[in-house]
């Protein structure tokens, strides 16, 4: 039915860097490529606490909170499963009736990963001023939430980390 493109992480990195250069003026918080290994591209947000990190692969973008060596939570997880189709590429994670054919793999990634990253950064991350850490790693459950000064929390976080750094 569908074939799978033979894609390398280097191809993904090139597509992301190209998109990032074009999208830089639209990002309220700058994003940069911090490192790349065999499995993933590590991203960071300029001026944001390093407890917030991101990783990008050919099929996934995750934004997470890691504090004192402990992964507390994933704040955003986006998936794409590129498949070859007549006329281009589709995402096999999408329902068949909702699939769009993209002329290039870059366009699929842009639609499913890169632009949603921009929307999340400009919407959620830029509106926050702290990260609340809840739960207990010793008890086996943790979660994190972006907090803004206007948030009325019914329960205070165990740890409140300032979001912005100099």
Dump pLDDT digits (tens) for 87-126.
999 999 999 999 999 999 999 999 999 999 999 999 999 9
Per the domain annotation, does 76 fall within a domain?
A: yes
Q: Is residue 144 assigned to a domain?
A: no
Residue 148 lies in a domain: no
Integer CA distances (angstroms), 38 to 8, 10, 28, 134, in order: 9, 9, 30, 32
Q: With beta carbons less than 8 A apart as the criterion, state whether 44 and 32 touch.
A: yes
Residue 102 lies in a domain: yes
Residue 99's domain comprises 9-129
134 lies in some domain: no
Assigned domain for 159 exists: no
**Alpha carbons 62 and 6: distance in angstroms, whole number:** 22
Whole-number pLDDT of residue 117: 98
Question: From CA 134, how far away is CA 155, in angstroms rounded?
Answer: 9
What's residue 138's pLDDT?
A: 76
Asked if the model's pLDDT at residue 156 lies above 90, the reply is: no
The confidence score (pLDDT) of residue 1 equals 44
- Residue 2, pLDDT > 60, answer no
Tell me the C-alpha distance between 106 and 66, whole Å. 29
Q: Tally the domains of the chain.
A: 1
In a domain, 149, yes or no: no
The answer to whether position 143 is within a domain reads no
- Answering whether pTM is above 0.85, one says yes
- Position 139 confidence tier, pLDDT thresholds 50, 70, 90: confident
Count of CB atoms situated within 10 Å of the CB of 72:
24
């Amino acid at each position: 039915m569908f074939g799978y493109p033979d894609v390398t992480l280097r191809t993904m990195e090139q597509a992301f860097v190209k998109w990032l250069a074009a999208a830089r003026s639209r990002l309220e918080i700058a994003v940069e490529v911090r490192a790349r290994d065999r499995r993933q591209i590590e991203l960071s947000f300029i001026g944001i606490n390093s407890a917030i990190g991101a990783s990008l692969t050919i099929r996934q973008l995750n934004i997470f909170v890691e504090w004192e060596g402990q992964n507390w939570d994933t704040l955003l997880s986006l998936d794409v499963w590129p498949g070859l189709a007549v006329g281009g590429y589709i995402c096999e994670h999408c329902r068949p009736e909702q699939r769009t054919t993209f002329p290039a793999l870059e366009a699929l990634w842009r639609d499913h990963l890169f632009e949603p990253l921009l929307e999340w950064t400009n919407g959620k991350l830029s509106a926050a001023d702290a990260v609340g850490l809840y739960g207990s790693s010793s008890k086996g459950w943790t979660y994190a939430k972006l907090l803004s000064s206007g948030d009325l929390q019914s329960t205070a976080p165990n740890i409140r980390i300032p979001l912005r750094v100099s």
